[in-house]
Structure 1
Amino acid sequence: MSKFTLALVAGASAAVGAASTAALLGMGSSKKNIPSQTVTTTTTVGTSPTGTAPPLPVPIRRLDDPKAPFVPPVDPAGLFQYGFPGPVNDVRNAASLTSSYDRRTKNPHWVAEHITPASLLMRNGDRRHSAFEEDQAIPEKFRAKLKDYFRSGYDRGHQVPAADAKWSQEAMNDTFALSNMCPQVGEGFNRDYWAHFEDFCRRLTSYYPSVRIVTGPLYLPKRDPVDNKWRVSYEVIGHPPNIAVPTHFYKIIYAEDGKTGGNVSLGAFVLPNDKISNDKPLADFEVPIEAVERASGLDFVSLLPPARRKRLCQEVSCSVIVKEYDQRQKQMTTPPPAKGLPSPSQR
């Protein structure tokens, strides 16, 4: 996909239909009462209900008599007495990441991380001591579950990789919550090209003292070969089907020069959630940040003055280094050392 095509696609809109069947929604003939759960959230629009009666409608002026107030006969905001519909951002602030969760797709909107030369040199975390887990801070009915990925054919793809959080075991454990995961094609992508791309991000700390990265899913339209119209189509996995499989993934890279008010080298990349040949140049996936913003509905650099912006791929060579996944996989599946004994790297 060319950069022009991606920009066009990112700006396109598409209507997505849904088959409202009881089987698809996981609704049986019997209903169970599910206890309500409390979770700290941040609303994106409106104001959350306070438990008090809704305010009276705001008086407006009558056109025939500007001096006489007129009270509308309806109060749409009265809905808030029953609860705030949303949308709601389940914002998570963990040791190694900050994220916003999308309850509709059961994937994150975005996940942000920060890596430095010092953080990558520390080796206090071991992924063999970590385990995938559901995010208990998200209400049960909106939560991605371990069973949803079981035999789905997709990897539980880290958005913030565990390898970026070796500086502490807690930090590494944070990356294994399913709120940091999206369904990703395994062989040829998550275990290969995507992993090489993550390694590229880490290697940037050889040139920059501070690197910030935002990663997330995209659901891009494609042209229907039959009627030539653009449509959004993606698979849904789970039991019942409820986790969207992204069509693409993005990374926004902020490589900071470390100076107060200094320059930031920016890079935006969009990769398809599919097998990618290891000889594919990374630069082929570079896109304008504005294209990712239009496609995701997110804003990444609104507070960064243009004078401080530089293009990352003009500052460094944007290329991946292919590493053998089999060797990494062998290291990851090796049993952890017994407690009290040093790991092989520490001996």
Structure 2
Amino acid sequence: MLRTLTLLLFLALSVNLGLAQSLDDRLADAEARREALEQQRDRVVAEIEDIHLAMVRRDLRAVGLPGNNVIEHSAMMLEYSESHEQARWVAHVISPEIISGTQYRSNDFRVDPKVPTGTAVEADYFLKELKPGTTDDYNYDGFGYDRGHLAPSADFRWSAKALSESYFYSNMSPQVADFNREGWAELESLLRGYVFEHPTTQLYVVTGGVLTDDLPVIERGINQVSIPRQFFKVVLDLEAGKAIGFLMPNERLAYPIEHYAVSVDAVETLTGLDFFNRIANQSAIEATLDKAHWLPAVKAGDVDPIYPPSLPRGHFNTVQAKQQMGNGRTVTVVGTVVSSRYSRSGNLWLNLDKKFPNQLFSVFIRKQDLVNFTGDPQATYEGQVIAVRGEVRDFNGTPTINLEREGEVRVFGE
């Protein structure tokens, strides 16, 4: 009997041990298969990205590049100017893939290995040295300019490879900090926003500095990089048959983005480059400037501030009005009434050139002063170009003139 019980116990232990070994083997096998699947997935994802990058290069060539000495990267193409130590132009696309892209700034600035003559380097923009007693903390001596992206890194956030390559110095140009970080960045964001609003659309973009023989250079830099006075950007929505250009000074922008919008033809005339030269109806597309199609503010009814040289002496447009704010002088400001409203308390607001809440300049008429006007000033001046005279005050950051009587305002030109 004891022998039988011992045998049964041995058999039970053997079965349990075998079962345990079987589970361990099964787990190891499952983990090995999972690792193989993950490796296979990574290979497929990489293959898809490579195909997408190849399609971008194909599409850029298909619309036509503005030069022959083209340097190709994964998702951008450029022509390099050795005499200016920067690209004459950089072409790329803003793909709908940015909507789901997850890549972020890599900041791996470096020379472009494909430029045979060499590119600018870090020491063209600033010097740095380690702080005493540290291994990764530096003192910086900047030369006064940002390394401004021509093709912005954020446009490549769907591809780690393409985003990293956007940090080649061949894609950099010296930009004033207030321009690079404000107006230029706003334009870049506006174009990405266009793709978000048109999620099946791919934009074709070509960007560069306006390079001329008389440009100043970064004197302290090794390669004497030229400092463009202006930058251009041309954009094509091939599906819609629409294109637009922008010409911007290398300085803090005084005017809204729409002020700098021009036809692609205008950029070609200035730069001597021939953009999108393989598309059908090139001439018609590039000659047309449809600001409302591209710029939400214009579509909403905003207008460009009046060109200052066209105004009489002593008159200011709505952008210049901000410079008069708080100085106590009586001045005349000219602009278009694009929106107006009565407040709950019965006061009237007229917004000039840009609608509320983005107005550049406002006119304020108190309820008790409305009796000093013939008829309803809202109906009289809506949509009109008016000249208002008074002291420009600061109302929550907006330059504003308070009108008390009809004689302080007139329809401009009458």
Q: TM-score range by the shorter chain?
A: 0.5 to 0.7
Q: Specify which of 117, 124, 132 is matched with residue 148 of structure 1.
A: 124
The structural deviation recorded for 1:241 is 5.0
The structural deviation recorded for 1:308 is 5.6
- Structure 1, unpaired ranges of 5+: 1-87, 221-230, 258-262, 323-347
Q: Report the CA distance shift for 1:235/1:130 in structure 2 as closer, same or farther (over 3 A).
A: closer
Q: Specify which of 175, 179, 186 is matched with residue 170 of structure 2.
A: 179
Structure 1 partner of 2:291 = 313
**Equivalent pairs: percent with the same residue?**
29
Structure 2 partner of 1:281 = 256
> Where do residues 129-168 of structure 1 align in structure 2 (5 Å cutoff)?
129-140=106-117, 142-150=118-126, 151-168=142-159
Structure 1 partner of 2:184 = 194
> Where do residues 48-197 of structure 1 align in structure 2 (5 Å cutoff)?
91-123=70-102, 125-127=103-105, 129-140=106-117, 142-150=118-126, 151-186=142-177, 188-197=178-187
Structure 2 CA distance for aligned equivalents of residues 118 and 239 of structure 1: 37
Bigger fraction of residues in helix? 2
The structural deviation recorded for 1:113 is 1.1
Q: Which deviates further from its counterpart, 283-292 or 167-176?
A: 283-292
Q: Report the CA distance shift for 1:204/1:162 in structure 2 as closer, same or farther (over 3 A).
A: same
The C-alpha deviation readout for 1:40-82, integer Å capped at 9, x for no partner, is xxxxxxxxxxxxxxxxxxxxxxxxxxxxxxxxxxxxxxxxxxx
The C-alpha deviation readout for 1:151-198, integer Å capped at 9, x for no partner, is 211010000111111112111101000000000101x21011111110
Structure 2 partner of 1:18 = none
Structure 2 partner of 1:212 = 204
Residues 1:265 and 2:226 are matched in the alignment: no
Q: Report the CA distance shift for 1:135/1:238 in structure 2 as closer, same or farther (over 3 A).
A: farther
Quick one: which amino acid aligns to residue 122 of structure 1?
A: G
The structural deviation recorded for 1:122 is 1.6
> Secondary structure of the residue that 1:191 maps to in structure 2?
helix
Bigger fraction of residues in strand? 2
The structural deviation recorded for 1:281 is 1.9
The structural deviation recorded for 1:235 is 3.2
Q: Report the CA distance shift for 1:139/1:93 in structure 2 as closer, same or farther (over 3 A).
A: closer
CA contact 1:204–1:255 (8 Å) conserved in 2 = no
> Secondary structure of the residue that 1:194 maps to in structure 2?
helix
Quick one: which amino acid aligns to residue 177 of structure 1?
A: F
Q: Report the CA distance shift for 1:155/1:284 in structure 2 as closer, same or farther (over 3 A).
A: same
Structure 1 partner of 2:351 = none
Q: Which deviates further from its counterpart, 89-98 or 105-114?
A: 89-98
CA contact 2:243–2:263 (8 Å) conserved in 1 = no
Q: Report the CA distance shift for 1:318/1:112 in structure 2 as closer, same or farther (over 3 A).
A: farther
Structure 2 CA distance for aligned equivalents of residues 213 and 318 of structure 1: 19
Count residues in correspondence.
Answer: 214
Q: CA-atom RMSD, angstroms? A: 2.7
Q: Report the CA distance shift for 1:95/1:312 in structure 2 as closer, same or farther (over 3 A).
A: farther
> Secondary structure of the residue that 1:113 maps to in structure 2?
strand
> Secondary structure of the residue that 2:189 maps to in structure 1?
helix
The structural deviation recorded for 1:118 is 2.5
Structure number with larger C-alpha Rg: 2
> Where do residues 225-244 of structure 1 align in structure 2 (5 Å cutoff)?
232-244=214-226
